[in-house]
Structure 1
Amino acid sequence: MGRGSSLLPCSLKMDANRRQSGIQQLLAAEQEAQQIVNAARAAKSARLRQAKEEAEREIAEYRAQMEAEFQRKVAESSGDSGANVKRLEQETTEKIEQLKQQAASISPEVIQMLLRHVTTVKN
């Protein structure tokens, strides 16, 4: 019996050591898992930051393209405006010439009519 009782404390010590070892393994696994989670969060944050920067770059490029297109259209329409002004000036000049010709053609008749009315005396 003396022997059996001496085995028991040794067995308890081994169980306690195994439990302690199991706890240490669990703690180590938990730390490793936490490191993996932290690394994943950092990678996700970096990807989000990179995606945001890329989106901002694309937006800036698109904005520059649209601004260039707008400026080109403004330049084209103002060029058309200059052509319209030229055309209107030419049409106006032609119309003035037509009116001068019409006035010159009826001017002698108008002068005769005015002279006749001015020189005729009515009672």
Structure 2
Amino acid sequence: MTSQSQGIQQLLQAEKRAAERVAEARKRKARRLKQAKEEAQGEIEQYRMEREREFQAQQRMALGTQGDLSSEVEAQTHKTLQMVQSCHGKNKEVVLRRLLSLVCDVKANLHPNYRFTNY
């Protein structure tokens, strides 16, 4: 009987050691999964930062170009406005004299299609 009880004790101890090894293996697996997850998060964050830098660079380039275009358009508009104002200043007197002469110097002429008839 003692050999039977000793065999049972050995089986129980073997089962206990196996359960401990399984528990330890599960803990190692959980640690490895946690470590892999942290590494993946780090890689994801690094990739996200890289893409964000690229986006910011492209945005600066696009907005810089847009800013250059708007300043160029503003300069062109200012130049055109100055040209129009200078032409207006030069030709204002001439146009006013011509308009006044056309309005004030009326010559009474008969229309070419008018037929004079004696009644």
- For Structure 1 versus Structure 2, the TM-score category normalised by the shorter chain is 0.7 to 0.9
2:16 to 31, 46, 65: 31
Given the two structures, how large is their TM-score scaled by the length of structure 1?
0.71
Say yes or no: does 1:91 pair with 2:72. no
CA shift at 1:92, angstroms?
1.2
**Structure 2 segments unaligned to the other structure (5+ residues):** 109-119
CA shift at 1:52, angstroms?
1.5
Q: Which residue of 1 aligns with 2:117?
A: none
The count of corresponding residues between Structure 1 and Structure 2 is 108
Q: Which amino acid aligns with 1:76?
A: M
Highest Rg: 1 or 2? Answer: 1
Give the % identical residues.
36
Name the structure where helix makes up a greater proportion of residues.
1
Q: Which residue of 2 aligns with 1:68?
A: 53
For residues 68-110 of structure 1, the C-alpha deviation after alignment (integer angstroms, 9 at most, x for no partner) is 1222122112211221112102321342244346546754652
**Structure 1 segments unaligned to the other structure (5+ residues):** 1-15
Moved more, 74-83 or 89-98: 89-98
